[in-house]
Amino acid sequence: MNLRTRSNHAPPGSGAAGEMMRPVDEATVAIYERRAAEWSQRRGDATDDLGLRFRERAGGGLAADLGCGSGRYLPQIGQPVVGIDATARMLALASGRGYPLVRADLERLPFGDGVLDGAFGRHSYLHLPRERLTAALAEASRVLRPGGLLMITLIEGTYAGHALPGDDLPGRYFACWTEPDLIGTLRAAGYADIRIVRAGRRHGSPDLQATARSRTSR
């Protein structure tokens, strides 16, 4: 596994993993640190088949769950996979599942160029401000092999801020997206074969489930 660091859920400021951190949003990360167990208990293991569909399309090579949280999708994605998250408490919860884990940020991934067959982000990139998403997705494209699969989910809408209606962990930052804006951002970040599907949520606006392929020429 061609990682820049092999440290598993290192605490902030310790070693290479700590030096790599650039928080997605400090207030959001702090909430996840305080309330990780509550978040995990409420959501439990993944009950949809999103991780399975991702693995089927990504193939059998190395994949990454970017913003893996407590690791609820790692069993669906299956080996070889590495979980990435900015929150030490979430990684501590995920550690019992038996998969490699690294504490790192979406905007500075701990992989060499072109080492992943797939990159999966279930409700992780929605914690980035809109103006930073293109660069973050370009970073994901960097670590994907040419033609590698990206699958991410975001919430549909135009809201951005720390007071998303219906948020069960109030104070987290969310940026919602319209389909045209998301398509344009994926293109700007270097993706092709972009497909977006709407999926209903229990509360609030639908999800936008986006898949795209890293371009075969760069």
Cβ contact 21:7 at 8 Å: no
pLDDT in tens, 52-95: 999 999 999 999 999 999 999 999 999 999 999 999 999 999 99
pLDDT in tens, 7-16: 343 333 333 3
Q: What is the value of pTM for the model shown?
A: 0.88
Residue 23 corresponds to which amino acid?
Answer: P
Q: Which residues contact 145 (CB under 8 A, 6 or more apart)?
A: 61, 114, 115, 116, 117, 214
**CATH number of this structure's domain 15-214:** 3.40.50.150
Q: Is 166 exposed, middle or buried (0-12, 13-18, 19+ CB in 10 A)?
A: exposed
Q: Measuring CA to CA, which residue among 143, 174, 37, 158 is closest to residue 96?
A: 37
Cβ contact 190:138 at 8 Å: yes
